[in-house]
Homo-oligomer: A and B are copies of this chain.
């Protein structure tokens, strides 16, 4: 039997290759969308604009996503996944709860300054239909609950001063999210450095020690 016949399930057989290629392109569409949304805003970005940026036409985009909303949702999802990865890493790195919280926060800061940061932070649920809005709420809540849990654990293990976990989580998330508003790609400070400085303020507080 010839090596080129269809009975040869090569790792990169035609179908497989095509499907990888497709995923790759889909991700390119999502990334371009994230950048466009961050620059001009969701409502000010038409899919024709986006298509032009990708050197394709609108129907091509519709072959990768079902709607503009889905595009926005995917951008959001990509960003949140980075944050959720921070929780996993915090578990593997270990340390007391405050240290784990800071690991998460560092990841968070980096995610927020990345390509999907804007979509994550600025996404207004009013722009999405009920079903998607609910998904977003869940994801946001997951992150929020994760932060609160770490804070509660910190209070329990003595690594965090006794405080209201809800307020502390919101304050921290707010400060971190806000980075997306003021950070520019060519800032003097790298995302890591920004994270360190912001987190120091949270650890030590403003009052002299």
List A residues at the B interface (Cβ < 8 Å): 39-41, 43-44, 98, 101, 122, 124, 126-127, 151, 154, 158-161, 163-164, 167-168, 170-179, 181-182, 194, 197-198, 200-209
Contact = CB atoms under 8 A, between A and B. Distances in A.
Contact of A40 (B98, B126, B181, B206): B126
Contact of A170 (B158, B167, B170, B198): B198
B201 A202 contact: yes
A141 to B, nearest CB: 11
A82 to B, nearest CB: 19
28 contacts: A39-B126, A43-B43, A43-B127, A98-B206, A101-B206, A122-B124, A154-B206, A159-B208, A160-B206, A160-B207, A161-B205, A161-B207, A161-B208, A163-B200, A163-B206, A164-B197, A167-B194, A167-B198, A168-B206, A174-B174, A174-B175, A174-B176, A174-B177, A175-B175, A202-B205, A203-B206, A203-B207, A204-B205
B201 A182 contact: no
Given A174-B179, A204-B205, 19 more contacts: A43-B127, A122-B124, A159-B208, A160-B206, A161-B209, A163-B200, A167-B194, A170-B175, A170-B178, A171-B175, A171-B178, A171-B198, A171-B201, A172-B175, A174-B175, A174-B176, A174-B181, A178-B178, A203-B206
Given A43-B43, A174-B179, A197-B164, A207 B204 contact: yes
Nearest to A154: B206
Contacts of A170: 175, 178-179, 182, 198
Given A40-B126, A127-B41, A205-B203, A174 B178 contact: yes
A36 B171 CA distance: 26
A209 B209 contact: yes
A208 B97 CA distance: 13
A209 B101 CA distance: 18
